[in-house]
Amino acid sequence: MNLLKNGLAALLLVSLASCSERRPAEAQAETGPLTRSTAAPAPANTAGLAVATFAGGCFWATEEVFEELRGVKAAVSGYSGGTVPNPSYEEVGTERTGHAEAVQVYYDPKQISYQQLAEVFFKAAHDPTTPNRQGPDLGPQYRSAVFYRTPQEKKVLDETIGRVNASRQYGSPVVTQVQPFRQFWPAEGYHQGYLRLHPRESYIQNISMVKVEKVRHTFPQLLKKPL
């Protein structure tokens, strides 16, 4: 029975388009109900805001997860963790840049803490126990990683991972890379706000929204809009 279930799950994942299979022309040709027409850029006024960078698989879902949290002023999809400056989506997809699909979060620490962001990331936003894979998306560009800016942030991350492992929430230990932040490169415009612009796509409905819904129901107290 387990083999049958695993086989059916594998077929389902194969049948869904992966994040990496989406091309600019296709993305720009489709329109869904527009919640926002362009990327959520870095805020023009960042006074009083802090910045955090997370990588948890395809950035379409990760961006939306953080956009829905109170205190988050903007979440920008992009690339981080590698060595190639200003990479393109296609270059990152070759797995030779070292970059992961990441999201840069601009938030008000008076409304939401770095610890709360970390808890959302590790407990609901993705599976932190699968190296180089999230659902149907395979490769190091989909790895789980967090890029800290201060020793205090690293301490928060290490402690959060420790609590998650101790809770046995997952069947395996957390494998998330905890690395010092170096650089973040914003992704192409058509990736920004992708989930809201293309809500009817099978990948969005069956993969991305599963993550978003998990966060909504796990952390309702942190949402901008209550369920």
Q: Compute the distance between CA of residue 107 and CA of residue 73 in angstroms, rounded to an integer.
A: 5
Q: Are 21 and 46 in contact (CB under 8 A)?
A: no
58 is catalytic: yes
Q: Compute the distance between CA of residue 72 and CA of residue 43 in angstroms, rounded to an integer.
A: 11
103 forms bridges with which residues in the sheet?
54, 77
Tokens of 183: 């650089």
DSSP string, 197-225: H-TTSHHIIIIIHHHHHHHHHH-GGGBSS
Q: Compute the distance between CA of residue 154 and CA of residue 176 in angstroms, rounded to an integer.
A: 12
Q: Compute the distance between CA of residue 114 and CA of residue 149 in angstroms, rounded to an integer.
A: 11
Residues 6 or more apart whose Cβ sits within 8 Å of residue 5: none
Residue 206 burial (10 A CB sphere; 0-12, 13-18, 19+): middle
Q: What residue type is assigned to position 89 of the chain?
A: Y
Q: Taken in order 104, 106, 107, 109, is the CA torsion positive or negative?
A: positive
| Active-site residue identified among 19, 58, 65, 197 | 58
Q: Which sequence positions are flagged as catalytic?
A: 58
